[in-house]
Amino acid sequence: MKSNLEAQEFPWPQGFLWGSATAAAQIEGAARQDGKEDSIWDAFARVPGAISGGHNLETAVDHYHRYAQDVGIMKTLGLDSYRFSTSWARVVPGGRTVNQKGLDFYGRLVDELLEAGILPWLTLYHWDLPQELEERGGWANRETAHRFADYAEAVHGALGDRVAHWTTFNEPLCSSLIGYAAGEHAPGRTEPRAALAAVHHQHLAHGLVAKRLRELGAREIGITLNLTNAVPNDPNDPADEEAARRIDALWNRMFLDPVLRGSYPADLLRDVEGLGLGEVIQDGDLETIHQPIDFLGVNHYHDDNVSGHPLPAGEAAPLLPTGSTKSSPFVGSEYVSFPSRNLPRTAMGWEVNPQGLRVLLNRLANDYPDLQALYITENGAAYEDRVEADGSVADPERRDYIMEHIGAVAGAIEDGVDVRGYFVWSLLDNFEWAWGYGKRFGIVRVDYDTQVRTIKDSGLAYAELIRASREPKTAR
C-alpha cells in the first residue's frame, strides 16, 4: 500500500476521522495579550542559544487573531476534526487565577469549529507550563500535578458543553526527558532525577484529570504518547538487543504501562535504579494513574535504530537540533547510540520508513489488548517547500510521506487494528520548538512576513484523499 491512489481506494471504516493537529504555543502568538503570562517556552526563548535563529513565540503564526480564517482553511480541506491545545499560561496565568479572557478565546475557536462542522479535539498540555510554576519546581514538584487538575477543571467548565474529546497530555516523554534531562526543550534543565520525577508527576496529573473530568461528565478521555519501534541495529548482537530493549522501556513502556496497566515495567525500574523514580511514587499513585481511558493517541514520526556500541568517530546522532552538545534524554541508558541506516531522511534528519507505523500499531494492539480506539494524533514531516512562480507550493516529499503513512494505517486496519482516525502534523507551518521557524511541517504554508497562508500540494492531496475516502466503495 504505497501510493496516494491506493490510500484513496482503501475502504476506510465508517466514521474514520480525518484531521490535522497544532499546539497552542506553536501557533497562537499573542504571547502577552488579554492576560496571558509567560509559559516555560516564552522564558526559554529568551535564553541565548536555546532556539535556533533566536526565534520566539511572540507572534508565531498569529492564530490568536486569525483563528476564523484558519478554521475556514480546515473547512476547505474537508477536515472532520481539529486537534489543538489550550495554553495553561493563557487560561491560568502564572498558574494562579483563572483568566476569563483566555477561556473566551477557546470558546470562540470552538464555536467557529462547530459552526464549520469540525469536531474539536482538545489537548490540555502540549508543553507550555506557566513559568511561575516552573519557578516553584515545575514538573519535578508533585504540587504541579494538582495545579494541572485545577486548570483542567477550569477549561472543562468553560468548554465541557461543546467539547467531547479530551486529551490530558501530548507526548509526556518530550516534556519530561527532553525538557528536564536533555535540556533541549524548555525548561532547559539537565537533571536526570528531575526528569524522572517529571515523568511520574505528569502521569499522576493525567490520572487526576482523567478521574476529575469523568466525574464532571466528559465522555471521551485519552492521552497522546509518542511511540517508536526501537530496532536493534544488529539483531544478532546482544549489546544492540539490550540497547533496543532499554529504549523501548524508557521511550514507550514507561509511558504506556502506568496508564494502561497501572505499573512501571520491572526492567525499566532496574535500568533507572538509583535515579530516584521509586522515591517519588507514593502509595495510591498508580491506582490514580490507571484510569479507564477511551482512546490512545499515537504520535509517530520515525523508528529508532538502536545500538549498544559507540558510533564510529565523526558520526553524530542526527536527532538533536544543530548537533547540540546538550545532555542526553536517555536517562539511565545514556550510552546508547543511533547509527544511521540506509533510509531517506526528512529535513529533521528523521528516517522515513512508513511500514514502521503499521508495525507499531500491531504491536500496541497485541501488547495492550484492553486498549480502546487508537488514533494517529500526529504524523507528518518537515521538508523544504518550493514556492512556484504561480504561488503554488510544491512539497512532493511531504505529500508522499503523508500518503505512505496513511497507507500504513490502512494496512494496520487491514490487520485488524482498531484505528479510528488520522491527524496530520501540522495544519500550518509553525514554531518548531528548539528549531524555531526553521523547519516547516505544515500542509499549509505560512509566509512569516505577511502571515499569508497557502495550501501546499500536500494539503491539496490530503483534501482529495479525504474526499475520495467518503465515496462509497465496493465491499472489502
Residues designated as active site: 378
Of 12 and 441, the one with the shorter C-beta distance to ligand GBH is 441
Residue 432: what residue type? E
Q: Which stretch binds ligand GBH (CB under 6 A): 12-20, 110-118, 171-179, 361-369?
A: 171-179
| Residue of 57, 71, 89, 174 that binds ligand GBH (CB under 6 A) | 174
Please report whether residue 320 would count as binding ligand GBH according to CB under 6 A.
yes
Closest residue to ligand GBH, based on beta-carbon distance: 319
Residue 475 beta carbon to ligand GBH: minimum distance, rounded to whole angstroms: 37
> What's the residue count for the chain?
476
Site pattern 16..35 for ligand GBH (x: CB under 6 A)? -------x------------
Least distance (Å) between residue 54 CB and ligand GBH: 19
How many residues contact ligand GBH, by CB under 6 A?
16
Q: Does 423 bind ligand GBH (CB under 6 A)?
A: no
Q: Least separation, in Å, of the C-beta of 380 and ligand GBH? A: 7
Among 167, 202, 299, 333, binds ligand GBH (CB under 6 A): 299
DSSP characters for 426-475?
A: -SB----GGGGGGS---SEEE-TTT--EEE-HHHHHHHHHHHHHTS----
Rounded distance between C-alpha atoms, residue 442 and residue 436, angstroms: 14
What backbone phi and psi angles, to 5 degrees, belong to 299?
Answer: -100, 130
Query: Residue 91 or 178: which CB sits closer to ligand GBH?
Result: 178
Cα 62–Cα 442–Cα 397 angle in degrees, nearest 5: 160
Contact between 301 and ligand GBH by CB under 6 A: the answer reads yes
375 scored as a contact of ligand GBH (CB under 6 A): no
Which x/- pattern over 441-460 shows residues binding ligand GBH (rule: CB under 6 A)? Answer: x-------------------
User: 197 Cβ partners below 8 Å, 6+ apart?
Assistant: 139, 140, 142, 276, 277, 280
List 92, 178, 210, 280, residue binding ligand GBH (CB under 6 A): 178
Applying CB under 6 A, does 329 fall inside the site for ligand GBH? yes
Q: Of the candidates 451, 465, 326, 333, which has an alpha carbon nearest to the alpha carbon of residue 409? A: 465
Residue of 187, 159, 35, 25 lying closest to 97 (CA atoms): 35
3-state secondary structure of 137: coil
| Candidates 166-174, 274-282, 393-401, 455-463; binding stretch for ligand GBH (CB under 6 A) | 166-174
Q: Fill in the DSSP letter of residue 94.
A: G
**387 CB contacts (<8 Å, ≥6 apart)?**
393, 394, 445, 454
**Residues facing 222 on adjacent strands:** 167, 295
| Of positions 28, 271, 432, 457, contacts ligand GBH by CB under 6 A | 432
β partners of residue 446:
453
| 122 lies in the binding site for ligand GBH (CB under 6 A) | no
347 counts as binding ligand GBH under rule CB under 6 A: no
Which three cell numbers mark 223? 492521552
Q: Are 391 and 312 in contact (CB under 8 A)?
A: no
Which of 10, 41, 383, 425 is in the footprint of ligand GBH by CB under 6 A? 425
Q: Is 437 in the site for ligand GBH (CB under 6 A)?
A: no
Contact status: 170 vs ligand GBH (CB under 6 A):
yes
CB of 389 to ligand GBH, least distance (A): 30
What distance in Å separates the CA atoms of residue 305 and residue 308, rounded to the nearest whole number? 10
Binding site for ligand GBH (CB under 6 A): 23, 170-171, 174, 178, 182, 226, 299, 301, 319-320, 329, 378, 425, 432, 441
